[in-house]
């Protein structure tokens, strides 16, 4: 053990290895700061690795390359329309940082992005119908070499403990984490420490000077000369914390990797006086249960209808997923998706993909030749279900959803390929799937300022302590403005934290 009881010394210690953590670690290491990335599990990337890795960083060179006509001003108009005067300072900091961050990242030979259409989530001034988010370019496993084994595999393979596919490039979230990992490694100043879980923060004379962590070989104390960045996800996988804070859904229904994100970093900071906000909030989504009882994030409904416990529709099923999740939270479940043989498989996108044969064989989906039979199998009131489907089919014939206006928004139409979203459900066999309120992570956590400095209850920064991603309370409050906001904002504030550390 070294001086003052430290096992190792760094300039910057980053807890977590999602998109925010890795972007922050790269900024620190590329700036010559000796940086450690601490990851609780044996794999890097967390929920970020499972993700589509859409990144909502507006007004950057990526949108410019795509000839999108995006601008910081357009995004400002959009965010202001959604968030009002709330969080003006952090919103401005985010907008100001986005172009600089993308310049910094793309300067690195390991990092490359491309625009991918995906509409913003609200019909508000400043919206771009094709969206403004972008994704990482796929990365060949060969280029990553041995490091590839460190990146968390896709969600279905990971849940089944099957590891990476033997061949093929890393895509989406894996490409993002892989690219950042490659870049960090190339700096020579970044050290990746897996199976190292932050347990506590070390406070000396009011300043955070390091962390305590648990490793396979026992506890360690790691000094952070310049700062500690907490980017270790939210508390979505903690049943107790969710219940205490009133987050709808459940730890068994979150899309985060099993058991990883249990709020450790938030709790450690709270123990030394940090304050929190938005604790009942998450990035919500509908989830379809698979044979293993785990949810698949489901979006882009282009057919079928969703009913509540009473057998009635309660929302426009094609709503952007967080908005649909919030309608579910306000309605009475259990919820069911009902569709028919008109659709070729599931009339929606699910991550992981669900195969009808497996779903039906396991009983996760049921199938019947008539609606009363389907009602019996699902426990839905038969009369109400029949009436709901009849009314829905009437809307399909008219081409207008008079109850919930499905198919009227650019987002709905994007996923229906411009065709109708209200498609009749009248061609047996009928199918039903249980839909649960899932989430992509909680979004409440440590209160932080525009430089990601963690704040005490009296609003003063805790010297040496920073937070980003789902460890921090999002500047977007209860709103999910568009695809890629969780990852885009995590990366932007992690980057700002490091700029502050370097000052």
Task: Name the site residues for ligand FAD (rule: CB under 6 A).
Answer: 15-21, 38-41, 46-48, 50-54, 197-198, 231-233, 255-256, 260-261, 264-265, 283, 297, 351, 440-441, 469-470, 483-487, 490
**Closest distance to ligand FAD from the beta carbon of 22 (Å):** 8
Rounded Cα gap, residues 40 and 198, in angstroms: 7
Report, in Å, the least distance between residue 153 CB and ligand FAD.
13
The CB-of-420 to ligand FAD minimum distance in angstroms stands at 26
Q: Which is nearer to ligand FAD, 55 or 389 (CB)?
A: 55
Residue 229 and residue 15 in contact, taking contact as beta carbons nearer than 8 Å: yes
Nearer Cβ to ligand FAD (8/373): 8
CB atoms closer than 10 angstroms to residue 89: 11
Residue 233 near residue 264 (C-beta atoms within 8 A): no
Residue 478 to residues 114, 415, 454, Cα–Cα distance (Å)? 28, 24, 20
CB of 325 to ligand FAD, least distance (A): 12
Nearest residue (CB) to ligand FAD, 292 versus 383: 292
**CB-based burial label for 330 (10 Å; 0-12, 13-18, 19+):** exposed
Closer residue to ligand FAD in complex, CB, 183/232: 232
Rounded Cα distance, 278 and 444, in Å:
4
Q: Which is nearer to ligand FAD, 233 or 249 (CB)?
A: 233
Name residues whose C-beta falls within 8 Å of residue 301's C-beta, 6 or more positions apart in sequence.
317, 318, 337, 347, 348, 415, 421
Backbone dihedral region for residue 306 (phi beyond 0: left; psi -120 to 50: alpha; all else: beta)? beta
| Shortest distance (Å) from residue 304 CB to ligand FAD | 20
- In whole angstroms, the minimum distance from the beta carbon of 390 to ligand FAD comes to 35
- Residue 291 and residue 282: Cα distance in Å, rounded? 25
Min separation Cβ 315 and ligand FAD, Å: 21
Confirm if 408 and 422 have CB atoms less than 8 A apart.
Answer: no
Q: How far is the C-alpha of 21 from the C-alpha of 229, rounded, in Å?
A: 8
CA-based max dimension of the chain: 76
Please give the backbone phi and psi of residue 33, each rounded to the nearest 5 degrees, phi first. Answer: -85, 135
Nearer to ligand FAD, 196 or 209 (CB): 196
User: Is the CB of 407 or the CB of 484 nearer to ligand FAD?
Assistant: 484
User: Distance between CA atoms of 95 and 75, rounded to whole angstroms?
Assistant: 8
Pairing of strands 295-299, 349-351: antiparallel
Task: Give the CA count within 13 Å in the CB-facing half-sphere of 266.
Answer: 27
Three-class DSSP category at 41: coil
The nearer residue to ligand FAD, 378 or 476, going by C-beta atoms, is 476
- Cis ω before 366 (30° cut-off from 0): no
C-beta separation of 239 from 246 below 8 A: no
What letter does residue 100 receive in the DSSP assignment? H
Nearer to ligand FAD, 163 or 379 (CB): 163
Minimum CB–partner distance for residue 4 and ligand FAD (Å): 22
CB of 137 to ligand FAD, least distance (A): 15
* Closest to ligand FAD by CB, 359 or 378: 359
Cβ 219 to ligand FAD, closest distance in Å? 13
């Amino acid at each position: 053990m070294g001086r003052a009881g430290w096992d190792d010394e760094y300039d910057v210690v980053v807890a977590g290895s999602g998109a925010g953590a890795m972007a922050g670690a790269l900024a620190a290491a590329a700036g010559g700061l000796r940086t450690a990335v601490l990851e609780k599990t044996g794999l890097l990337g967390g929920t970020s690795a499972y993700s589509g890795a859409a990144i909502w960083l507006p007004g950057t060179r990526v949108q410019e390359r795509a000839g999108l006509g995006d601008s910081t001003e357009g995004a400002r108009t959009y965010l202001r329309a959604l968030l009002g005067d709330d969080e003006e300072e952090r919103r401005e900091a985010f907008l100001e940082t986005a172009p600089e961050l993308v310049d910094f990242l793309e300067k690195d030979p390991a990092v490359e992005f491309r625009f991918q259409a995906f509409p913003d989530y609200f019909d508000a001034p400043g919206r771009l119908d094709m969206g403004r988010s972008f994704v990482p370019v796929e990365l060949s496993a060969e280029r990553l070499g041995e490091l590839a084994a460190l990146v968390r595999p896709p969600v279905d393979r990971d849940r089944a403990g099957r590891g990476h596919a033997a061949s093929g490039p890393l895509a989406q979230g894996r490409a993002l984490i892989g690219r950042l990992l490659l870049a960090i490694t190339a700096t020579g100043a970044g050290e990746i420490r897996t199976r190292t879980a932050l347990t506590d923060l070390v406070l000396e004379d009011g300043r955070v000077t390091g962390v305590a962590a648990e490793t396979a070989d026992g506890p360690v104390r790691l000094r952070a000369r310049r700062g500690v960045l907490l980017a270790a996800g939210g508390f979505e996988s903690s049943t107790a914390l969710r219940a205490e804070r009133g987050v709808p859904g459940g730890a068994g229904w979150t899309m985060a990797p099993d058991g990883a994100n249990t709020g450790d970093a938030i709790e450690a900071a709270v123990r030394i006086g940090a304050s929190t906000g938005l604790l009942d909030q998450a990035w919500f989504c509908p989830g379809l249960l698979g044979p293993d009882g785990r949810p698949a994030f489901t979006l882009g409904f282009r057919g079928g209808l969703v009913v509540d416990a009473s057998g009635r529709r309660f929302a426009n099923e094609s709503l952007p997923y967080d908005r649909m999740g919030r309608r579910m939270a306000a309605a009475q479940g259990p919820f069911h998706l009902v569709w028919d043989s008109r659709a070729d498989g599931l009339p929606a996108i699910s991550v992981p993909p669900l195969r009808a044969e497996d779903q039906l064989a396991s009983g996760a989906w049921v199938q019947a030749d008539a609606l009363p039979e389907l009602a019996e199998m699902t426990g839905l009131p038969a009369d109400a279900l029949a009436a709901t489907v009849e009314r829905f089919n009437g809307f399909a014939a008219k081409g207008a959803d008079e109850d919930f206006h499905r198919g009227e928004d650019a987002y709905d139409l994007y996923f229906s390929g411009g065709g109708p979203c209200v498609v009749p459900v009248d061609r047996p066999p009928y199918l039903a799937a249980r839909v649960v309120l899932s989430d992509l992570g909680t979004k409440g956590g440590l209160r932080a300022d525009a430089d990601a400095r963690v704040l005490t209850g009296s609003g003063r920064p805790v010297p040496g302590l920073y937070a980003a991603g789902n460890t921090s309370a999002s500047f977007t409050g209860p709103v999910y403005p568009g695809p890629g906001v969780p990852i885009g904002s995590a990366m932007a504030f992690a980057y700002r934290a490091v700029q502050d550390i370097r000052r």
